[in-house]
């Protein structure tokens, strides 16, 4: 059994670490669109590129499913340090999102995005469908692309378990998404791509596409 003074030190260090983490700057993005699957997701990001992602499919989407689909996602994630830096720089330039993000223009509904910042520098949030601010609109598109990457990774995990032949088409689709920007940040799904790249029981095309995506690095 450890001496009581060692236990006390361990508890104190853990509390200090948790308190420090709680004071770290955080950017949170919430997305909702009842016409999509998932209908809602939340992405939390820290300056070092670590974060967390949660998605909820919604009952309407569940009822309309006709094929294997990724379940609700609730997991930690990592994006590149540069991507995280860019996100927090946007937050700083835009008053920690204490601003009007919504353009109020009559444009097609793209889904509600809420950006929120909290940290030592302040806090704030704004919600929009479409923003005339180029930085805000671009960040919304990038966050949706990261979410798409995470959701595709979850779908790959389901296919690997239940439909290995379906991986071929899905990996082709994912490669196209990365090429045209609909998916971003390979690091967010590095684990499943590494599993596919090393799995001799999947098609060679699947392994090669996984290897090629991994070679792209943190994009």
Residues 115, 93: Cα–Cα separation, whole Å? 13
Structure tokens that stand for 83 in this block: 């991507």
Q: Could you tell me which residues are beta bridge partners of residue 113? A: 31, 128
Buried b (16+ CB within 10 A) or exposed e, 17-51: eeeeeeeebbbbbbbbbeeebbbbbbbbbbeebeb
Which pTM was predicted?
Answer: 0.85
- pLDDT per position in the chain (219 positions), as tens? 555 444 444 444 444 444 444 579 999 999 999 999 899 999 999 999 999 999 987 664 444 444 566 679 999 999 999 999 999 999 999 999 999 999 989 999 999 999 999 999 999 999 999 999 999 999 999 999 999 999 999 999 999 999 999 999 999 999 999 999 999 999 999 999 999 999 999 999 999 999 999 998 755
CA-based R_g, the chain, Å: 20
The pLDDT of residue 216: 84
């Amino acid at each position: 059994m450890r001496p009581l003074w060692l236990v006390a030190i361990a508890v104190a260090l853990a509390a200090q670490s948790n308190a420090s983490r709680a004071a770290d700057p955080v950017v949170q993005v919430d997305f909702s669109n009842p016409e999509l699957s998932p209908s809602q997701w939340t992405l939390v990001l820290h300056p070092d590129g670590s974060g967390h992602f949660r998605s909820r499919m919604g009952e309407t989407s569940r009822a309309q499913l006709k094929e294997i689909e990724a379940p609700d996602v609730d997991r930690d994630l990592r994006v590149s340090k540069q991507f995280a830096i860019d996100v927090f720089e946007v937050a700083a330039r835009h008053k920690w999102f204490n601003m009007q993000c919504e353009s109020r223009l009559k444009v097609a509904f793209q889904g509600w995005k809420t950006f929120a910042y909290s940290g030592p520098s302040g806090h704030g949030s704004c919600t929009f469908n479409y923003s005339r601010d180029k930085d805000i609109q671009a960040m919304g598109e990038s966050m949706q692309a990261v979410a798409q990457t995470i959701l595709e990774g979850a779908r790959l995990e389901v296919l690997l378990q239940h439909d290995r032949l379906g991986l071929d088409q899905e990996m082709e689709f994912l490669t196209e998404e990365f090429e045209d920007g609909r998916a971003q940040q390979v690091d967010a799904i590095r684990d499943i791509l590494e599993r596919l790249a090393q799995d001799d029981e999947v098609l060679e095309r699947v392994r090669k596409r996984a290897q090629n995506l991994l070679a792209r690095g943190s994009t």
